[in-house]
Structure 1
Amino acid sequence: MSSFSHTVGSRTYQFRDLKDLMAKATPARSGDYLAGLAAASAEERVAAQMALAALPLSIFLQQALIPYEDDEVTRLIIDRHDRAAFAPIAHLTVGDFRNWLLGDGADSAALAAVSPGITPEMAAAVSKLMRVQDLILVAKKCHVTTAFRNTIGLPGRMSTRLQPNHPTDDATGIAASVLDGLLYGSGDAVIGINPATDNVPQVIKIVTMLDEIIDRYGIPTQSCVLTHVTNTIAAIERGAPVDLVFQSIAGTEAANAGFGINLALLDEARQAALSLRRGSVGNNVMYFETGQGSALSANAHHGVDQQTCEARAYAVARAFAPLLVNSVVGFIGPEYLYDGKQIVRAGLEDHFCAKLLGLPMGCDVCYTNHAEADQNDMDILLTLLGTAGCTFVMGIPGSDDIMLNYQTTSFHDALYARRVLGLKPAPEFEAWLQRMEIFTRDAQVTLGNGLPPAFERALLRLS
């Protein structure tokens, strides 16, 4: 790889290769300091950003940050790169690319057309030159739509994952949380449970219970048990009513190996889910979660900064046409994103990069209790993501996940974001909420001193 340099005043900063330059150009975050990759000063960071801005986008097709022969994610990125889609922007530098993205000519159609020609490294590079408002503006223009039993990602809409986790997988507790969430309009992205007991029989038990709820009340949504992909494949083989296949993914082959997966296994899982033909309006059957710091935590980052590793995970995701992808942005901990400011920046970067690459990107707006963050920081990120066109967020009773022990967004938070930003649920789910008299025609919740009458009648009719 070539070395790079940039002079600021009387001092010239040297960067040994492209991945060193990328790391030094990254806005400060604790994970890169932990890895020994971050810029030593704000001046060095600016020098790296200026040097990066002058590089041609095509350099990322010539110099792989992780060698092609060593990493199947690199091979996926290079082998599936669409040179025809890249052609309209092939002459641009990274800095020019930023200017093009912010211009009026880069509308939704233009962004969708070039998306297959953008590599994760290109997206990560340009994000490092952007302010928060830039990340929001460009992401807002990216429209990515997917479907299974409803349609996710349409303009003017924001979906929610109803997350009714329970520390003992108690069926009554899960059902109570599901009911609570539905009455606040949550659950159109997915009703998704992290099982406390993670084995195939338990996965089958939970997914069957969720299927019965969805079927009994005719809810146009999908369910998912967030277990390892091999458990889901085994559940499908045993006849379980699986809607979506979940898996955590990362941006390097070694990090994915740490998760016990590879690209071939993900393809096997997708084919298994497709064979069930359970979707009614579409066939996007995969649900992926990612997070900055996952590769570093597995010592599988190859000296690449954590945000660029995260963007590479989106190449893995888009190879499998997912219904949903989300960054669990503050979940891994302060070792990787120290405080609210770093979490906010990272969440907007992740959303921007994924949308630019053509993914239906959501965000778990969250933090752990030992991070220097609080719910006010999450309110800021939630509002900014809603403005940026975020596909979906989490909905949890009271913001407190009592099984995973972290803080995220509540049913009320999602309702706030929809109201203040004029957003609606997925159209099929919105129509169901209106039929059940949970929502009025203007998307207001009808909760008063009891259950909405139509929903109560449905409960009585099916009890």
Structure 2
Amino acid sequence: MATYAHVIDGTRHVFDDLRTLLACATPERSGDRLAGVGAGSAVQRAAAQMALADVPLGAFLQEALVPYEADEVTRLIVDSHDAAAFAPIAHLTVGSFREWLLSDDVDSDVLARVAPGITPEMAAAVAKIMRAQDLVLAARKARVVTRFRNTIGLAGRMATRLQPNHPTDDLAGIAASVLDGLLYGSGDAVIGINPALDNVAHVVRLLEMLDAVITRYEVPTQACVLTHVTSTLRAIERGAPVDLVFQSIGGTQGTNASFGVSLSLLAEARDAALSLHRGATFAEGPGQNVMYFETGQGSALSAGAHHGCDQQTLEARAYGVARHFAPLLVNSVVGFIGPEYLYDGKQITRAGLEDHFCGKLLGLPMGVDICYTNHAEADQDDMDVLLTVLGAAGCTFIMGVPGADDVMLNYQSTSFHDALYARRVLGLRPAPEFEAWLERMAIFAPGSGARLLEHAGGLPPAFARALHLEPRSRNDV
């Protein structure tokens, strides 16, 4: 096992192994302090970053951070590595890899070709030596397109997950939030409910309600109840209308075990969802992306399964798990775990940019829940900044939560209005099939991208007819 070193002002800083080097090179965050890993000073961090820049990319294929024989995630990463895709960058160090990513010769097509050859550890390593603008520029180049009932990830597009959570799972309350979100152009990534109650009969009721809304209004989107994968499997057995299978995942076998999942269980769930054939057919073929994963820096430490690694590297390894299952959506819930792992707005912003960059670099349809908990040193201004920068970076999707305040999960996210802001300021549009539906329903002005049409009484006539209501104020829907 190699050691790594760099001299600053006459002091030689030595790092015993690649795991230690990566941890010490990571920008400051509270979770690494809690874990007892990471640099002890800014000088040591700079030395680690300089040493890391000189590490050949091939070293990450030779030295496992988490033992191969003890961890199925490591085995997945190693055994699925595409040597042919790696060949064009095999001669690079971490530092020259950064320069290559930022060069004008590297575009979305080039990144797509090399993505299967990039391991999560390589992605994490190069992120550690990049500035915020580097993370934005490189991620913006990566285009990852997925399909189920619509097309996610095209250039110039930013989708939203409509998140209509309710503290008691009241169906009428959830339906009202769904309609409210649709009327503001939210929901093209997915209409996804975090259930307050996690039993199969209840999950089936929620799925049937969402399916009824999508069917009634002919909305070109997909639904998901974010229950445990085993509950989704049982719902499928009962004939429930399951579009996407959700699961939280992590970057080590132990983390996934704490979530009650394994790679074989995820494969079983994906096969079950594919067997339903609920996706639309496109010119490129049927929509085959049926998985929705959520991740977050700090989950491995929270599970006691971090193996002495830093949280950003393990987050990237979670994307290695996600990539294997060809998901429709992957979402870093970046500030949700709390200030124990990401202390303030600065750390949340940095982590959000890292997560988005690493996910896109590995070939994932990466979204970010731009969020914080109420006991973090962060506020909505921090989230506005992160939203704007992620929009510039080509983020695949964000959240749409009524009022940006999730009253069931008790955290702060982004609202329907925030998505409109980002689309207007950055010239971004919804998924094309969803945009056409918004125009057909007279919600968005034709060709406007994100301009709401005004109606007498506030409610588009098509909705008023479907609801058997007279038009009324949009805010009353």
TM-based fold match above 0.5: yes
SS in 2 for 1:276: coil
Tell me the residue number matched to 1:446.
453
Matched residue, 1:320: 325
Gaps of 5+ in 1: none
1:10-159 alignment runs, 5 A limit: 10-159=10-159
SS at match of 2:275: helix
- The partner residue of 2:397 within 392, 401, 417 is 392
Residue by residue over 1:256-314, the C-alpha shift from the partner in whole angstroms, topping out at 9 and shown as x without a partner, is 00000000000000000000000013110000000000000011000010000000000
Are the equivalent residues in 2 in contact too, given 1:159–1:391 (CA < 8 A)? yes
Partners of 1:5 and 1:428 in 2: CA distance: 53
For 2:288 and 2:437, the matched residues in 1 are separated by: 21
Number of the residue aligned with 2:336:
331
User: 5 Å matches for 1:35-434?
Assistant: 35-281=35-281, 282-434=287-439
Paired residues in the alignment total 461
Report deviation, 1:454: 3.0
The amino acid across from 2:297 in the alignment is: Q
What is the root-mean-square deviation in Å for CA atoms of aligned residues?
0.8
TM-score by length of 1: 0.99
The 2-side partners of 1:287 and 1:72 are apart by 20
Partners in 2 of 1:74 and 1:87 — Cα distance? 21
Query: Which ranges of structure 2 fall in alignment gaps of 5 or more residues?
Result: 282-286, 470-477
Q: Do 1:73 and 1:316's aligned partners in 2 also have CA atoms closer than 8 Å?
A: yes
Contact kept? 1:32, 1:336, Cα under 8 Å: yes
- CA distance in structure 2 between the partners assigned to 1:457 and 1:450 by the alignment: 13
Task: Please give the secondary structure, in 1, of the residue aligned with 2:468.
Answer: helix
Question: How far apart, CA to CA, are the structure 2 residues paired with 1:158 and 1:446?
Answer: 20
Q: Which whole-Å deviations, capped at 9, do the CAs of 1:378-404 have from their partners, x for residues lacking one?
A: 000000000000000000110000000
CA distance in 1, matches of 2:111, 2:296: 24
Asked if the contact 1:54–1:94 (Cα under 8 Å) also holds between the matched residues in 2, the reply is: yes
CA deviations over 1:337-391 (Å, ceiling 9, x no partner): 0000000000000000000000000000000000000000000000000000000
Among the aligned pairs, what percent are the same residue? Answer: 73
Q: Is this contact kept in 2: 1:186–1:411, CA < 8 A? A: yes
Contact 1:437 1:455 in 2 (8 A): no
Q: Distance in 1 between matches of 2:441 and 2:371?
A: 31
The TM-score with structure 2 as length reference comes to 0.96
Letter in 2 for 1:121: E
For 1:373 and 1:265, locate their aligned partners in 2 and report how far apart those are by CA, in whole Å.
37
Residues of 1 paired with 2:445 and 2:454: CA distance?
Answer: 10
Structure 1 counterpart of 2:474: none
- Quote the Cα distance in structure 2 between the aligned partners of 1:275 and 1:452: 37
Say whether residues 1:437 and 2:442 are aligned partners: yes
User: What displacement does 1:453 show?
Assistant: 2.1
Match of 1:460 in 2: 468
